[in-house]
Amino acid sequence: MQPIKKYFAIYADTCFASFGDRVKIWITINEPLQTAVNGYDMGGFAPGRCQGSSIEPYLAAHHQILAHAAAVSIYRSKYKDKQGGQVGLVLDCEWAEANSEKNEDKTAAARRLDFQLGWYLHPIYFGDYPEVMQERLGDRLPKFSEEEKDLLRNSIDFVGLNHYTSRFIAHVPDSPDEGDFYKAQEMERIVEWEGGEKIGDKAASEWLYVVPWGIRKVLNYIAQRYNNPPIYVTENGMDDEDNETSPLNEMLDDKLRVVYYKRYLAAVAQAIKDGVDVRGYFAWSLLDNFEWAQGYTKRFGLVYVDYKNGLSRHPKSSAYWFLRFLKGGEGKNG
């Protein structure tokens, strides 16, 4: 796997040279955690590795981090002065809220965040993996050479955040989730308050609940933990189930998505008032599209795509809400 750093650097160099006069904001890798965990531990995503390996996901992540840093090094040494662009990395993260005031639950929630964000940001900002990962994974976690640590440090101009939902986190000795990555965290992800009420309205995907307060918390967490870097919310949204039997007008009247964006954007605005350096926000997604292993069964779009009738496109209620919002037509409580 080691040559991937070299080949990725060559690829990045080609992109910078070919498009750098027009592209000013670069993302090296999108959601590397998904590739490492679901590609090399759980097996649900490409390349579909699910061999019970306790090493492969951490090797995959290790070389992704080094490939990112190599690309940034090339840009800064050859192109930044001439092109004036920025290079960042996009990470996906659920907010982890401690399930109780117990120290073990608070520690489990902190551990969960280190296994999501810290896995990639700690090497970049502090030169090595989070201590909790080193302690729990031991020799399964690859080591950085001193030369690699130098390459990694501050190899980022901004953090991209893909955020959709949040979970309560409780400490458990044996995680109910499959895969070494989850077992090592000794935590359970919970979707209910103590009284049994769900953490938020459920979207179509089994993992996605509407929890707007979580995005404010994760944005503040990044700012406080990593010296308030520039942040772009690079993905945020929710999905509906594809339903061939529902009339088109019902599929276009996506009330919950409108509520989702109203509340999540309000929470982002609150984070900015808190002092978080949020530079931009991107809804996922403009159009219904192919969603990883779920294919066309889930619809995240602001615009409905009719897959059976020439891919015709129909704006949903959320698209019209965004239109009014961007024109300043939504009131403070709208």
Every domain of the chain and the residues it spans: 3-190
For 94-120, write each residue's pLDDT tens digit.
999 999 999 999 999 999 999 999 999
Q: What is the DSSP string of 9-74?
A: HHHHHHHHHHHTTT--EEEEEE-HHHHHHHHHTS-SSTT---S--SSHHHHHHHHHHHHHHHHHHH
Query: Is it the case that residue 296 has pLDDT exceeding 90?
Result: yes
What pLDDT does 140 receive? 95
Q: 44-53, 137-146, 211-220: which has the minimum mean pLDDT? A: 44-53
Picking from 213, 240, 179, 190, the residue whose alpha carbon sits closest to that of residue 43 is 179
Which one of 31, 148, 186, 188 is the catalytic residue?
Answer: 31
CA 38 to chain CA centroid, nearest Å: 14
Query: Is it the case that residue 31 has pLDDT exceeding 90?
Result: yes
Cα–Cα distance measured from residue 28 to residue 120, given in angstroms and rounded to the nearest whole number: 13
What pLDDT does 330 receive? 66
β 231-235/158-162 pair status: parallel
Residue 91, beta-bridge partner list: 161
β 312-315/303-306 pair status: antiparallel
| pLDDT band with cut points at 50, 70 and 90 for residue 301 | very high
Cα–Cα distance measured from residue 248 to residue 157, given in angstroms and rounded to the nearest whole number: 43
Query: Is it the case that residue 299 has pLDDT exceeding 90?
Result: yes
* Catalytic (active site) residue 235: yes
What pLDDT does 52 receive? 63
| pLDDT band with cut points at 50, 70 and 90 for residue 54 | confident
Cα–Cα distance measured from residue 46 to residue 284, given in angstroms and rounded to the nearest whole number: 21
For 211-248, write each residue's pLDDT tens digit.
999 999 999 999 999 999 999 999 999 999 999 899 99
Query: Is it the case that residue 332 has pLDDT exceeding 80?
Result: no
Q: Give 284-289 contacts, CB < 8 A, sequence gap 24+.
A: 284/162, 284/164, 284/235, 284/236, 284/237, 285/235, 285/237, 287/313
What pLDDT does 244 receive? 87
* Catalytic (active site) residue 135: no
For 187-206, write each residue's pLDDT tens digit.
999 999 988 999 999 999 99
Q: In the chain, what's the furthest Cα-to-Cα distance?
A: 61
Query: Is it the case that residue 146 has pLDDT exceeding 60?
Result: yes
Query: Is it the case that residue 333 has pLDDT exceeding 70?
Result: no
Burial 191-211 (b: 16+ CB within 10 A, else e): beeeeeeebbebbbbeebbbb
Residue 305, beta-bridge partner list: 313
The pTM for the full model equals 0.96
Query: Is it the case that residue 329 has pLDDT exceeding 80?
Result: no
Superfamily (CATH H level) for 3-190:
Glycosidases (3.20.20.80)
Mean pLDDT across the chain, nearest whole number? 95
Cα–Cα distance measured from residue 195 to residue 197, given in angstroms and rounded to the nearest whole number: 6
| pLDDT band with cut points at 50, 70 and 90 for residue 90 | very high
What pLDDT does 16 receive? 98
What pLDDT does 53 receive? 63
| pLDDT band with cut points at 50, 70 and 90 for residue 324 | very high
Which one of 94, 188, 235, 291 is the catalytic residue?
Answer: 235
Query: Is it the case that residue 2 has pLDDT exceeding 70?
Result: no
Q: 164-168, 208-212, 326-330: which has the minimum mean pLDDT? A: 326-330
